[in-house]
Amino acid sequence: MCGIVGYVGDRQAAEFLLDGLSKLEYRGYDSAGIAVYDNGSVRVEKSVGRLSALRDKIKGNVPVGNIGIGHTRWATHGRPSDVNAHPHVDCHNDFAIVHNGIIENYLSLKEELIEKGHVFKSETDTEVVVHLLEEVYNGDFIVAVREVLRRIEGSYALAFMSRKHPDMLVCTKQDNPLIIGLGEGENYIASDIPAIISRTRRTYIMGDGELAIVHKDSVEITDRKGEPVAKKVFKVTWNAEAAEKGGYEHFMLKEIHEQPKAVRDTMSQRITSDKKSISFEELSWTPEYLNSFNKIYIVACGTAYHAGLVGKYYIEKMARVIVEVDVASEFRYRDPIVDDKTLLIVVSQSGETSDTLAALKESKRRGAKTLAITNVVGSSIAREADQVVYTWAGPEIAVASTKAYTTQLVLFFMLALYMTEIKGMIAPKRTAELVEHLQEIPSQISEILSDVDPIKTFAKQYGFNEDVFYIGRGLDYSVSLEGALKLKEISYIHAEAYAAGELKHGTLALIVEGVPVIALATQRNVYEKTLSNIKEVKARDAVVIGIAAEGDTELKKYVDHVMHVPASDEFIMPILSVIPLQLLAYYAAITRGCDVDKPRNLAKSVTVE
Catalytic residue numbers? 2, 604
CA distance 348 to 346: 7
Other Cβ atoms closer than 10 A to 77: 17
Residues 485 and 493: beta-carbon distance below 8 Å? no
The secondary structure of 478-508 as a DSSP string is HHHHHHHHHHHHHH--EEEEEEGGGGGGTGG
Q: Smallest Cα–Cα separation from 471: which of 506, 492, 445, 495?
A: 495
Residues 240 and 198: beta-carbon distance below 8 Å? yes
CA distance 330 to 186: 44
Q: Smallest Cα–Cα separation from 311: which of 303, 323, 326?
A: 323
Q: What is the DSSP letter of 167?
A: E
Beta-bridge partners for 221: 212
CA distance 345 to 160: 36
The order of strands in the sheet holding 295-300 is: 323-327, 295-300, 342-348, 369-374, 387-390
Residues 6+ apart with CB under 8 A from 99: 2, 4, 71, 86, 88, 126, 129, 156, 157, 158
Other Cβ atoms closer than 10 A to 19: 17
Residues 518 and 480: beta-carbon distance below 8 Å? yes
Residues 196 and 190: beta-carbon distance below 8 Å? yes
> Taking the mean position of all CA atoms in its chain, how far away is CA 476?
24
Longest dimension (CA), the chain: 80
Phi then psi for 50, rounded to 5 degrees? -65, 165
Dihedral of CA 572/576/577/581: which sign?
Answer: positive
CA distance 57 to 34: 12
Residues 6+ apart with CB under 8 A from 250: 398, 586, 596, 597
Distances (CA, A) of 427 to 44, 319, 417: 66, 13, 11
